[in-house]
Amino acid sequence: MTAKRVTRSLPFGLGLSLLLLCGAASAAHAGGALFDAAGALGANSARGYRQRIAAARRADARSFRVVARLRALLPTLAKQRRGRGVTVLLPLAALGASGRWAMADELFFSGAGQGTLDAVAWRGWRVSLLEAIGRLRRADMAPLLRAAVRHDDSDARVARAAVEALGRFGDPSDVDLLVNAATQRGRDAHQLLDALGDCRRSAMVTRLTKLLATPGHDTPARLSILKSLGRAGNAYAWRTSAVRKSGEEQAVRSAAAKALIDVYATTTDASERDRAATSVLVVGWSRTPQLIAAAKTRHPQQSESLDSLAKRFARSPVR
Amino acid sequence: MTADAPSPDVAPAGPIVDIRADLDRDGKIDLEGDNDDRDEDKWTNERGAIFLANIDDDERRCQFSAQLSDDEIVRCNDAADEVVNGAADEADLAKMLVKPWPLAPNGTTWMVKVNAEAANYVRLFIRDSGGSLTVYKPEPGPAGTLRAGFELRIEAKDIVRDRTMWDGFVDVTLEVDVDGKKHTDTVRLRVAPLLLHHQVQKANGLFVARDIFPDSKTFVSSFDAATTAANAPKAIKLDVNDQWAQDYFETGYMVMPKAGGGQQVIDVFIRSANVFNPQSKSFPLREAGRIVFAARGPGVAAIQQFDVRHSQEMDTLNSNGNLEVVPPHVAPDGKNHAFGRILRGSVATFFPDPTFQKLLDSQGVQPTIKIDTSWLLVGHVDETLSFVPTTSSARGWTVLVNDAAMAVKMLTDAATAGHRDVKMFQNKFWLDQLNRQLPAETTIGKLLDDTEIMAATAEAAIQVQKQKDILKREVGLRDEEFVSVPFTHYYSDGYSLAYQPGTVNGVVITNTDFIAPVGHGPVVDGVDVFKDQFEKAVAPHGITVRWVENWDLLHRLSGEVHCGSNARREIPADASWWKVIQ
């Protein structure tokens, strides 16, 4: 049985969410999987994945054993955890690329389900699996992650992890899917919006900027969008090959910086200004001083505030 | 003191209606002169009597039983009954004296009252003619007692938890009825606040959880080796199934001037406000925190404060890794924070238990500085900041602060110099339960090309910069007073954690020794570059780093040495909080 979230077509932040329980599980859908694979992927595609998983199990049984053992350890880890969640991301990531089939099987096909796991452990397990798969950026995982995003899990953190994981692939054709998943989330939209920035593409920054310009978003949502812009333009992320290969560094970072400075200069909300400033510094774009100078011209009444931002940028450790 | 005009029915000097307490805080009560009489109905930083919350357990009467609920176990202490529990307990009771009125006429009666606001929070005792202290209930007393004068004692039944309920003051009034005419004298006292320790105070007790976990032995033995090498107290091994010893309790103290001079102290063990079982009526709190009641005893109190309804999503902030103290300083606004200020991660949208925070705020000596830790998965101030003693500045202490950008620079410089393939985290694994199948080993080059680690590290650098800015503004710290501690971060569930062991998350065990987690960093030309950096950075401050292995027990479960240990510290030689309390 799966739980699917349905939202009314209202601007996010204003819409109500209704939780519906779908009908009986399909025969191809194991109770613990994130979604019904045949339904989500199509029968042929699902069959193809099952075959590849079976082949991987023959070639790399170790990964499957390790995933199963990690799952069994979750109650202990949850009990020993420190903080607001359980994470097994790094152990899963240590499986490497060959481990993705075991993870995909657990999450999308044969997973054991929540069973006796408490809510924290269950969430942590699914989030960690999604994160670990997303980090690999392997093309054969993309259709599964797209299905995970469309599934729109009732747990906002799980839904967020799916958005973040797919976004990391950096495929511009996924931008609409990702943005819609976040904006149609209703009251929890802010939890997904801050994950959009992991899709570090110009098309995503354009959409994020448009979202900021669209009225009707509540403060948490706007703060998440500002955070996403920071993530998209993150100075250190752009030093890595997985992100640089798009060739869009200047387009993304300059657009993100400009959008953030514009909000900084125009918002009357202190928390938005703070978040925008933080994100400007995280982006650390080299032409930020010039962008700030231009903003001062457009918004002379904010000169003092923009000067303050410029000073902070000048001493930023991330530039 | 009041003295009416002489009447034919009383002695020419008038009635002596005079109750006194130790207003000048010298440990004794002067019945002559006005040292302990002048302005006694007021209380100021300069003058005013003090009493203690008598919530220790001087005769070890209180049970420590797993059967007692969280609500039951806290109730037992010396103030829970109406009995003075021995000589040690008597010393915890502040004294008041009623001056003798030898010529009190027959028929004179007297009574001692407390103001209504304080009545439920204090208890009076009276020394009887046999010399015993018995509980005092307000009722008319005979002239004979007044003629001889008598002694009273006072205890608070609790600390101040909410100044809107009780502000910690009590007005004790002696009321004397002479032929239908009432004469009164009032003395005001204030209960001692709860003060928290800071890391620059000398440790006289260290704690770690006992080695009950498969991975505990290495950590515990490594910790013990460090304390031995430093000539520091050997850690007491707590009998709890929870390795995060920092999180489930905090240590503090209460002080009043002692009879005869010195300080009368009650140590306080404070249970964390973590609610791990919100549905349980009997045991909602984090179980390991009950250890504070095992510590309860002579001169040691144990308290807890929580609201079971506080947000579970924010419960991590109630762990005491998120409750630290900036050591003493004079702030830029001139205020003397002689006992330092509390430091907590708390913002408008992510904050700790409000009732616990209110308790802290109600003490009036260590105001709270709040910084943003909402970007961290665990959310504790000890993940990015730490305070250590220093011999190199007049301030006497300095700040260790995570410098994530420095970590990237160090790694980048090493890569540029041709060391991209140098390994880190060698022979370290994620989760040994899987028989070492998940190696943590990586290289400098791989780390620098890991998008999620690099992105998290950039954000960490900016967020910690904001934390520093707050400390600079609030405390007056200068840039050069921050000691950079480089380590990188990674994201999980959108929040940040230390990827390399967070070296800042350590413990001051003597005034020259700091325990830090072994970093397993890259070794270039025979030198672990991060280890080397840290040792060189703190050496000018007179600090020796004692490295402790905590990868298995703590680091791979999102914590480090500070998280996995705790300390009890010496009370300052001069803990005259009364000079600065607000």
Per-residue pLDDT of A26-51, as tens digits, reads: 333 456 788 888 888 989 999 999 99
The mean per-residue pLDDT over the stretch B476-486 comes to 97
The mean per-residue pLDDT over the stretch A132-142 comes to 97
The mean per-residue pLDDT over the stretch B221-246 comes to 96
Per-residue pLDDT of A67-95, as tens digits, reads: 999 999 999 888 888 888 899 999 999 99
Is ipTM over 0.85?
yes
In a domain, A216, yes or no: no
The mean per-residue pLDDT over the stretch A201-212 comes to 98
- Do B450 and A240 make contact, defined as CB atoms within 8 angstroms? yes
- Do B557 and A237 make contact, defined as CB atoms within 8 angstroms? no
A111 touches chain B (CB under 8 A): no
- Do A282 and B458 make contact, defined as CB atoms within 8 angstroms? yes
Q: Write the residue in B316, B433, B450 that is nearest to A73 by C-beta.
A: B433
- Do B378 and A82 make contact, defined as CB atoms within 8 angstroms? yes
Q: Write the residue in A77, A161, A278 that is nearest to B493 by C-beta.
A: A161
User: What is the span of the domain harbouring residue A147?
Assistant: 1-169
- Do A282 and B459 make contact, defined as CB atoms within 8 angstroms? yes
Q: What is the pLDDT at residue B437?
A: 78
Contact B210, B235 (CB under 8 A): no
- Do A91 and B348 make contact, defined as CB atoms within 8 angstroms? no
- Do B434 and A66 make contact, defined as CB atoms within 8 angstroms? yes
What element of type H or E holds A261?
Answer: helix A249-266
In a domain, A244, yes or no: no
Residues of A in contact with B434 (CB under 8 A): 66, 69-70, 73, 91
Residue A289 distance to chain B (closest CA, Å): 17
**Helix, strand counts (H, E) of chain A:** 17, 2
What element of type H or E holds A160?
Answer: helix A156-167
**For residue A240, what is the nearest residue in chain B, using CA coordinates?**
B449
Per-residue pLDDT of B179-194, as tens digits, reads: 999 999 999 999 999 9
Q: Which residues in chain B (315-354) have CB-CB distances under 8 A to chain A?
A: 315-316, 319, 321, 348-349
B463 touches chain A (CB under 8 A): yes
Q: What is the pLDDT at residue A83?
A: 85
Scanning B101-150, the segments in alpha helix (DSSP H) are: 116-119, 143-148
Find which of A70, A79, A82 to mutate to test the B interface (most B CBs within 10 Å of its CB).
Answer: A82
- Do B243 and A80 make contact, defined as CB atoms within 8 angstroms? yes
A89 touches chain B (CB under 8 A): yes
Scanning B476-576, the segments in alpha helix (DSSP H) are: 529-538
Residue A146 pLDDT > 80: yes
Reference B547, options B559, B568, B532; nearest CA is: B532
Residue B319 distance to chain A (closest CA, Å): 9
Q: Write the residue in B319, B455, B497 that is nearest to A234 by C-beta.
A: B455
In a domain, A42, yes or no: yes
Mean pLDDT (chain B, rounded)? 95
- Do A318 and B405 make contact, defined as CB atoms within 8 angstroms? yes
Residue B370 pLDDT > 60: yes
**For residue A170, what is the nearest residue in chain B, using CA coordinates?**
B451
Say how many residues make up chain A. Answer: 319
CA distances (Å), B33 to each of A295, B38, B188, B200, in order? 72, 9, 18, 41
Residue B4 pLDDT > 70: no
Write down the residue that tokens 């747990």 correspond to. A155
Contact A192, A208 (CB under 8 A): no
- Do B378 and A83 make contact, defined as CB atoms within 8 angstroms? yes
Q: What is the pLDDT at residue A81?
A: 85
Per-residue pLDDT of B519-529, as tens digits, reads: 999 999 999 99
Reference B171, options B49, B24, B28, B29; nearest CA is: B49
Q: What is the pLDDT at residue B517?
A: 98
Q: What is the pLDDT at residue A33?
A: 86
Per-residue pLDDT of B423-450, as tens digits, reads: 999 999 997 665 677 999 999 999 999 9
B470 touches chain A (CB under 8 A): no
Q: What is the pLDDT at residue B433?
A: 60
A120 touches chain B (CB under 8 A): no
Q: Which residues in chain A (36-55) have CB-CB distances under 8 A to chain B?
A: none
DSSP 8-state secondary structure symbol assigned to residue B367: P
Q: What is the pLDDT at residue B432?
A: 64
In a domain, A38, yes or no: yes
The mean per-residue pLDDT over the stretch A209-225 comes to 95
The mean per-residue pLDDT over the stretch B82-111 comes to 96
- Do B558 and A82 make contact, defined as CB atoms within 8 angstroms? yes
- Do B457 and A236 make contact, defined as CB atoms within 8 angstroms? yes
Residue A15 pLDDT > 70: no
Q: How far apart are CA A148 and CA A143, in angstroms?
A: 9
The mean per-residue pLDDT over the stretch A267-276 comes to 97
- Do A83 and B377 make contact, defined as CB atoms within 8 angstroms? yes
Contact A19, A154 (CB under 8 A): yes
In a domain, A303, yes or no: no
Largest CA distance in chain A: 68
In a domain, A86, yes or no: yes
* Other CB atoms within 10 Å distance of the CB of residue B351: 18
- Do A281 and B462 make contact, defined as CB atoms within 8 angstroms? yes
Residue A19 pLDDT > 80: no
- Split into its structural domains, chain A has a count of 1
Residues of B in contact with A135 (CB under 8 A): 451-452
Q: What is the pLDDT at residue B14?
A: 85
In a domain, A163, yes or no: yes
* β partners of residue B537: none
Mean pLDDT (chain A, rounded)? 90
In a domain, A251, yes or no: no
Q: What is the pLDDT at residue A18?
A: 36
Counted across chains A and B, CB pairs separated by less than 8 A come out at 138
